């Protein structure tokens, strides 16, 4: 189990114990974190699990693939340098304490 | 909304779930009851023919945990079967005798596997793949089977075949049509996938009909074709689905390749909506009445219905259809809806991806890609904008849809 904190755009935080091997998106869905929609279920066909990795954590998370970058272009909220699809970030012990920020909207 | 309305959703698949979730997101304050005929909480179906068969963890499939429904006040009547809609009294009756009054009813009854008229197709142990329990049984049989026969070369049959091949099974796929996924794809793309799967070891039999299926005492199946007989330890029938319309028929609603819905996804009774696999609607892109079996249609239609109900509007449905299918190392993505007879032009990109453009009267109408997410996304932007783009225009730019999409985006800003 790895602790992940989701910070909503309106200032709420959700701390979840995520299963290692799951994606950050799955951790959010399994723990009923509002703000991650994940319409395609992790097939990288939509951009509704968009999140911003906290700048302090950015270097610890592997960079996005080209496909993920293309899909991020379709995100509903502002695209930032820290933007990621949470379905493409795998939870592991190295990410213990990871903080991700949720965008204002996913659709 | 001045008075609290009562809303009932029949069907707890992707479409029913999304309708409930979107209604709450849009601020619907009335009661929401979802009736589903399966015991599990609403779950994703696409992984049933892919990752679920490898991982086998049903909890990973749930669209949301139980707390989501409690938090949002979405009541679940599951497993339960809606057997009757009394339109005069506006009441849905379920199998257990309960009566649920409604102001709005949403039919999200989905589809069921077609059972082809093949003698032996209903033999015990001949699998179908639609529900979680189907997938559980299939997964279990796969553990001991060596020889696998898949009947039907559509998305589900091929997705399953590639999982079985990857797991080391001996797989034969039989398709009546002369090419794979013929209903949805260009000839070039069918060919590409046929070559790919055969390269992975698939024994592919096209233009072949199954005459009958028999089984012996050892549990070995014989699949009899015109000139040969293929033996198998496991048989999957993947010959498509038909819309579940029984409830709509009994309610006296109009049926036309599924529950007939208007451009606002209302049935012939305006208090009753229909969406997803079970509903046909006028598609603004092809100007035809279509019925789509996709996550995209289920979710986009659910959102439109929710928005229209909550804001008392009648906005028409106009979302671009898109699809995907993961088969081994090939990720197929389709933007737009092509029709049989549309022209095609294949473009191989240097990065190993393939894009097949589809044209109707020289107008760009759909794009099929393999491992080409950037072309796919660009096509979605271009086609959704509904600005006509000609074949000649694309040819002039070497089919550079990415630049075209960028130009269109900046022009609209």
CB B65 to CB A30 under 8 A? yes
Chain B closest CA to A16's CA: distance in Å?
Answer: 14
As a whole number of Å, the CA-based R_g of chain B is 22
Helix axis angle for B14-25 and B295-311, nearest 10°, is: 30
Q: What average pLDDT does range B366-387 have in this prediction?
A: 94
CB A40 to CB B71 under 8 A? no
CB B65 to CB A32 under 8 A? yes
CB A41 to CB B47 under 8 A? yes
pLDDT higher than threshold 90 for residue B307: yes
Q: What average pLDDT does range B70-79 have in this prediction?
A: 97
**The predicted structure's pLDDT at residue B263:** 98
Judged by CB atoms within 8 Å, which residues 256-315 of B form the interface with A?
295, 299, 303
Tell me the residue ranges of DSSP E strands in B126-239: 126-127, 147-151, 170-174, 203-205, 212-215, 221-224, 229-232, 234-237
Residue in A45, A66, A85, A106 to test binding to B, most B beta-carbons within 10 Å:
A45
Please tell me which residue of chain B has the smallest CA distance to A23. B60
Chain B closest CA to A55's CA: distance in Å?
Answer: 27
Could you give the C-alpha distances from A51 to A18, A64, A80, A85, B159, in angstroms and in order?
16, 12, 10, 6, 30
Under DSSP, is residue B347 helix (H, G, I), strand (E, B) or coil?
strand
B316 secondary structure, DSSP code = P
pLDDT higher than threshold 50 for residue A7: yes
CB A45 to CB B303 under 8 A? no
A12: chain B residues, CB-CB within 8 Å:
none
B333: chain A residues, CB-CB within 8 Å:
45
**The predicted structure's pLDDT at residue B408:** 87
CA atoms of B166 and B197, how far apart (whole Å): 11
Q: Any chain A CB within 8 A of the CB of B374? A: yes
What is the number of residues in chain B? 413
CA atoms of B353 and B349, how far apart (whole Å): 5
A45: chain B residues, CB-CB within 8 Å:
322, 324, 333
B350 pLDDT tier (thresholds 50, 70, 90)? confident
Share of chain A above pLDDT 70, in %: 100
Share of chain B above pLDDT 70, in %: 99
Q: What average pLDDT does range A7-12 have in this prediction?
A: 94
Place of tokens 């609209």: B412
As a whole number of Å, the CA-based R_g of chain A is 12
B365 pLDDT tier (thresholds 50, 70, 90)? very high
Place of tokens 């949403």: B106
Q: Any chain A CB within 8 A of the CB of B355? A: no
Are the C-beta atoms of residues B14 and B45 closer than 8 Å to each other? yes
**The predicted structure's pLDDT at residue B189:** 98
The residue with greater pLDDT, B400 or B60, is: B400
**The predicted structure's pLDDT at residue A74:** 86
Chain A closest CA to B144's CA: distance in Å?
Answer: 27
The residues pairing with B148 across neighbouring beta strands, listed in sequence order, are: B171, B234
The tens digit of pLDDT for each residue in B136-161 reads 999 999 999 999 999 999 999 999 99
pLDDT higher than threshold 80 for residue B133: yes
Q: Any chain A CB within 8 A of the CB of B87? A: no
B411 pLDDT tier (thresholds 50, 70, 90)? confident
Q: Any chain A CB within 8 A of the CB of B57? A: no
Q: What average pLDDT does range B222-227 have in this prediction?
A: 97
What is the number of residues in chain A? 107
Share of chain B above pLDDT 90, in %: 94
Q: What average pLDDT does range B78-93 have in this prediction?
A: 97
**The predicted structure's pLDDT at residue B413:** 64
Are the C-beta atoms of residues B101 and B6 closer than 8 Å to each other? yes
Q: What average pLDDT does range A23-48 have in this prediction?
A: 94
Q: What average pLDDT does range B224-237 have in this prediction?
A: 97
Q: What is the pTM of this model?
A: 0.95
B2 pLDDT tier (thresholds 50, 70, 90)? very low
Are the C-beta atoms of residues B173 and B84 closer than 8 Å to each other? no
Neighbours of B240 (CB within 10 A): 16
The tens digit of pLDDT for each residue in B86-113 reads 999 999 999 999 999 999 999 999 999 9
The tens digit of pLDDT for each residue in B27-65 reads 999 999 999 999 999 999 999 999 999 999 998 899 999
A70: chain B residues, CB-CB within 8 Å:
373-374, 377
- Strand order of the β-sheet with B272-274 is B74-77, B31-35, B6-10, B104-107, B272-274
Residue in A20, A26, A34, A41 to test binding to B, most B beta-carbons within 10 Å:
A41
- Cα–chain-centroid distance for residue B407? 32
Chain B closest CA to A50's CA: distance in Å?
Answer: 16
Q: Could you tell me which residues of chain A have a Cβ less than 8 Å from any Cβ in chain B?
A: 22, 26, 29-32, 39-41, 43-45, 66-67, 70-71, 73-74, 107
Are the C-beta atoms of residues B225 and B208 closer than 8 Å to each other? yes
The tens digit of pLDDT for each residue in A43-82 reads 999 999 999 999 999 999 999 998 899 899 889 999 999 9
**A&B contacts, CB < 8 Å:** 45
């Amino acid at each position: 189990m790895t602790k992940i904190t989701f910070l909503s755009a309106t200032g709420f935080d959700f701390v979840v114990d995520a299963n290692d091997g799951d994606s950050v998106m799955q951790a959010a869905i399994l723990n009923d974190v509002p703000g991650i929609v994940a319409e395609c279920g992790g097939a990288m066909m939509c951009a509704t699990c968009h999140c911003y990795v906290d700048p302090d954590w950015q270097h610890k998370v592997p960079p996005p693939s080209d496909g993920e970058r293309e899909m991020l272009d379709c995100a509903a909220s502002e695209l930032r340098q820290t933007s990621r699809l949470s379905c493409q970030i795998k939870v592991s012990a190295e990410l213990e304490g990871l903080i991700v920020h949720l965008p204002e909207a996913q659709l | 909304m001045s008075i609290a309305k009562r809303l009932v959703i029949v069907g707890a698949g992707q479409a029913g779930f999304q309708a409930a979730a979107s209604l709450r997101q849009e601020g619907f304050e009335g009661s929401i009851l979802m009736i589903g005929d399966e015991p599990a909480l609403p779950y994703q179906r696409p992984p049933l023919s892919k990752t679920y068969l490898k991982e086998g963890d049903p909890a990973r499939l749930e669209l949301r945990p139980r707390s989501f429904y409690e938090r949002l006040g979405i009541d679940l009547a599951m497993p339960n079967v809606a057997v009757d809609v009394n339109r005069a009294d506006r009441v849905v009756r379920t199998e257990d005798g309960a009566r649920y009054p409604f102001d709005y009813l949403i039919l999200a009854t989905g589809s069921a596997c077609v059972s082809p008229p093949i003698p032996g197709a209903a033999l015990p142990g001949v699998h179908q793949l639609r529900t979680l329990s189907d997938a559980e049984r299939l997964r279990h049989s796969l553990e001991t089977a060596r020889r696998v026969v898949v009947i039907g070369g559509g998305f589900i049959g091929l997705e399953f075949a590639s999982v079985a091949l990857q797991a080391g099974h001996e797989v034969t796929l039989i398709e009546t049509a002369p090419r794979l996924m013929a209903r949805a794809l260009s000839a070039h793309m069918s060919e590409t996938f046929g070559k790919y799967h055969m390269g992975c070891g698939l024994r592919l039999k096209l233009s072949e009909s199954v005459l009958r299926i028999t089984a012996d005492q050892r549990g070995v199946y014989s699949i009899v074709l015109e000139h040969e007989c293929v033996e198998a330890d496991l048989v999957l029938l993947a010959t498509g689905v038909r819309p579940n319309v029984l409830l709509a028929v009994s309610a006296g609603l109009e049926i036309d390749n599924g529950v007939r819905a208007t451009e606002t996804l209302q049935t012939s009774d305006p208090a009753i909506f229909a969406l997803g696999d079970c509903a046909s609607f006028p598609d603004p892109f092809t100007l035809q009445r279509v019925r789509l079996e996709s996550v995209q249609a289920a979710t986009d239609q659910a959102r439109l219905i929710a928005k229209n109900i909550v804001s008392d509007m009648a906005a028409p449905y106009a979302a671009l259809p898109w699809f995907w299918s993961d088969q081994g190392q090939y990720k197929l993505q389709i933007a737009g809806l092509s029709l049989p007879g549309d022209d095609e032009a294949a473009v191989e990109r240097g990065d190993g991806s393939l894009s097949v453009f589809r044209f109707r009267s020289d107008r760009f109408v759909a794009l099929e890609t393999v491992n080409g997410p950037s072309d796919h996304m660009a096509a979605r932007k271009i086609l959704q904008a509904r600005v006509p783009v000609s074949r000649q225009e694309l040819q002039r730019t070497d089919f550079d849809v990415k630049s075209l999409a960028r130009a269109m985006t900046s022009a609209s800003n």
